[in-house]
Chains A and B, each alone.
Chain A
Amino acid sequence: MKNIIEVADLSKHYRGAKAVDGVSFTIEKNGIYGLAGRNGAGKSTLMQLIAGQVVKTAGTLQVMDQDPIENAAVMSNIAFIKEAERYPENIIPKVSDVLKFAALIFENWDAEFAEELIADFRLPKNRRMLKLSRGQVSAVGVIVGLASRAPITLFDEPYLGMDPVARKIFYDHLLADYSQHPRTILFSTHLIDEAADLMEHVFVMDQGRFVLNAKTDELRGTAMSIEGLTPTVEEFTSGLETLTIQVIGGFTRAIVSALNSAQRDAAKDLGLTVNPISLQELIISKTNLTEKLETEPAK
């Protein structure tokens, strides 16, 4: 089993709204995959489909070569940590109760690691979940996700409200634990640049579809920014695939698809500045491109 998740033409519609619209991809066993996209792009729904939480409308979805829906053999290998997870106050009121709950369910649960994470995140174990800050509640989710050591771990924007220090602790632990216990991790995020170094592969969704599906390393050099006086930039980019253009007064910054060395030299000769762009900026450009294409199909 090389691919742990195989998806072909997968769709999920809610009363006409296409949350996921004909998506196809594969995820290999053991790797860290990023899922980016704007709010409402379909990221959470895609993760819910993989976790067997919602039923697909059309297409094929195989997790560990099987349909995940109501399949204990598949679902017992999945941990799905959601952004806005609610913890039932009447059953598991305290942080320690959540950990007991998780320990009962997850076969690979590492209690020692969970304790280490609790200490690093400075979480009060005996405090009621209702009394925790938003960031601390997120930290509880992150701890469960990491200590579960589930072979397929899905993090859906897991760090809502977490401060930069806590997020750094999460990234560090994720990477360190992944190197010790490789597994398949798919996490959605808006903080792409922060998490860019973790992702081996990135998917970008927009309006229910994939607009990008590439290895992170390959992606980094696929676009560049050209900056300079507007007429010069316009002239230079006229024959290039332009992703976005920002005009501020007489100055323009364009993001274009990768340039070869001759093109870069030509730009410099024209007095333009050529810079690499961040992964986040690239993704924003790609997402905007979709909108541009859809609103202006004639171009």
Chain B
Amino acid sequence: MTAIVSAQPTAKRISKIIRLNFLNPWPYLITPWIIIGFLMTFTFVLGLTGVAGLSADGVVLFRPAYFIVIYLFVIANQTLYHQFPLALSYGVTRKDFYLGTVISALITSLVFAIGAGLVALVMGDIDLTAPEALTHQGFLLIWVFFTSQLLAITLTALYLRWRAAGLTSFFIGLGVVVVTLPFIADVWDNADRVMRFIFASEQLLVGWTIAAALTSALFLAGYWLISRAAPNRT
């Protein structure tokens, strides 16, 4: 007789999902470096200058690294959209799948932040005499990579939960915010002053609190949305 299987501990179940996400190393771990390598070569060959991006406090990073943000966004979206129905069919719970996928996103963010830092170092875009700013930039890079993936995961969870109606409602809401934001900023007199206040080096705590709140909100929204999401009706 086939033995009834006992549920494994949560940590083991989640680690399985992480292993599943990296089962094929190409999309997450190989292809992005090919893109970066190509862009670096392209930049060298053309002798481009001023390709640095995300400048702040003496530290600049190789701008092509930010293409990886878009790449990771797409990959995170595909992972959830395509893998979720299959994982569910194979007896994985939504919660385990979500947590495993989010941790996978965090791992790739760390890997690519380190990679992007190394690329910047090779390009001579890092000022090693400013360690504090370097740390700040490093965390900022991890946050950008991770949050962009989390945004993709949450938007995909929104689609899986409410399909096109959910996404349409979200983008209508986003449109309203984008349209009204300049008005609100105008009311505040000077949006630039507000942003500079948030991201000024002496206000780092405020900036990071807002960043952490945004990431947490995305994480919780994704968790809530996926908890009742269903694969396509067959």
- Residues on B with C-beta less than 8 A from A191 are none
Q: Are B27's CB and A82's CB within 8 A?
A: no
Do B4 and A88 have beta carbons less than 8 Å apart? no
Which residues of A have CB within 8 Å of B20?
91, 101, 104-105
Tell me, in angstroms, the Cα distance from A252 to B233 when the chains sit together: 41
Specify the chain A residue showing the minimal Cβ separation from B6.
A73
A75 and B93 contact, Cβ closer than 8 Å, known pairs A88-B82, A90-B27, A151-B4? yes
The interface size bin for chain B is 35 or more
- Give the residue name and chain of the B residue nearest to A100 (CB): B23
A224→B80 CA distance, assembly (Å): 52
Which residues of A are found within 8 Å of B178, using beta-carbon distances? none
Give the contacts of B93-134 with A (CB-CB under 8 A): 93-96
List residues of B (1-46) whose CB comes within 8 Å of A's CBs: 1-8, 10, 13, 16, 19-21, 23-24, 26-27
Residues of A within 8 A of B234 (CB): 44, 48, 82-84, 156
Q: Is the Cβ of A64 less than 8 Å from the Cβ of B86?
A: no
A-side contacts of B94, CB under 8 Å: 70
Report if B78 contacts A (CB, 8 A): yes
A106 interface residue (CB < 8 Å to B): yes
Inter-chain contact A76/B8, CB cutoff 8 Å: yes
Binds A, one of B145-153, B188-196, B224-232: B224-232
Q: Is the CB of B2 within 8 A of A91?
A: no
B85 at the binding interface (Cβ < 8 Å): yes
Q: Which residues of A contact B86 (CB under 8 A)?
A: 85-88, 101
Do A78 and B91 contact each other (CB < 8 Å), given the known contacts A45-B233, A90-B75?
yes
Instruction: Kindly identify, within residues 107 to 149 of chain A, every residue whose CB is under 8 Å from any CB belonging to chain B.
Output: 107-108, 144, 148-149
* Residue B89 CB within 8 A of the other chain: yes
Docked CA distance A93–B83 (Å): 12
> A81: which B residues are within 8 A, CB to CB?
89
Q: A30-B1, A91-B82 given as contacts; is B91 within 8 A of A79 (CB)?
A: yes
Shortest CB–CB separation between residue B57 and chain A, in angstroms?
37
Asked if A54 is at the interface (CB within 8 A of a chain B CB), the reply is yes
Whole-angstrom distance from the CB of A70 to the nearest CB of chain B? 5
Which residues does chain B contribute within 8 Å of A72, judged by CB atoms?
Answer: 7-8, 10, 13, 93, 96
Chain B residue contacts of A211, Cβ below 8 A:
none
B87 interface contact, C-beta 8 A: yes
Q: Across the interface, do B5 and A108 meet the contact criterion of CB distance under 8 Å?
A: yes
| Interface check A102, CB cutoff 8 A | yes
- Chain A residue with minimal CB distance to B82? A88
Contacts of B213 in A (CB 8 A): none
Q: Does A51 contact B (CB under 8 A)?
A: yes
Decide if A55 is an interface residue (CB 8 Å cutoff): yes
**Could you say which of A82, A88, A91, A93 contacts B89, with CB atoms under 8 Å apart?**
A82
B92 at interface (Cβ–Cβ under 8 A)? Answer: yes
Given A78-B91, A81-B89, A106-B91, A53 and B230 contact (CB-CB distance below 8 Å)? yes
A182 at the interface (CB under 8 A from B): yes
- B29 to chain A minimum Cβ distance, whole angstroms, is 12
Let me know if A105 and B21 touch, CB within 8 A. Answer: no
Alpha-carbon gap, A106 to B3, bound state (A):
12
Check if B78 sits within 8 Å of A77, measured CB to CB: no
Q: Establish whether residues A183 and B2, one from each chain, have CB atoms under 8 Å apart when the complex forms.
A: yes
Separation of A75 and B96 alpha carbons in the complex (Å)? 11
Is there an interface contact between B90 and A102, defined as CB atoms closer than 8 Å?
yes
Instruction: State whether B2 touches A64 (Cβ < 8 A).
Output: no
Known A-B contacts A54-B230, A105-B87; A182 and B5 likewise in contact (beta carbons under 8 Å): no
Chain A residue at minimum C-beta to C-beta distance from B79: A91
Question: Could you say which residues of chain A place their CB within 8 Å of the CB of B95?
Answer: 70
In the bound complex, CA of A83 to CA of B87 (Å): 15
Q: How far is the CA of A105 from the CA of B7 in the complex (A)?
A: 12
Nearest-neighbor residue (CB-CB) of A43 within chain B: B234
Cβ A105 vs Cβ B90 within 8 A: yes
Q: Which residues on the B side are within 8 Å of A77 (C-beta)?
A: 4-5, 91
Check A70–B93 contact: CB distance below 8 A: yes
B7–A181 touching, CB < 8 Å: no
B88 CB–A CB distance under 8 Å? yes
Chain A residues packing against B (C-beta within 8 Å)? 14, 30, 44-45, 48, 51-55, 64, 70-73, 75-93, 97, 100-102, 104-108, 144, 148-151, 156, 181-183
Interface residues in chain B, defined as those with a beta carbon under 8 Å from any beta carbon in chain A: 1-8, 10, 13, 16, 19-21, 23-24, 26-27, 75, 78-79, 82-83, 85-96, 227-228, 230-231, 233-234
Q: List 13 A-B contacts (CB under 8 A).
A: A44-B233, A53-B231, A72-B7, A72-B96, A77-B4, A79-B91, A80-B88, A80-B91, A82-B89, A101-B20, A150-B2, A151-B2, A181-B1
Given A90-B78, A156-B234, 6 additional A-B pairs, CB 8 A = A70-B93, A70-B94, A76-B6, A85-B85, A90-B82, A91-B23
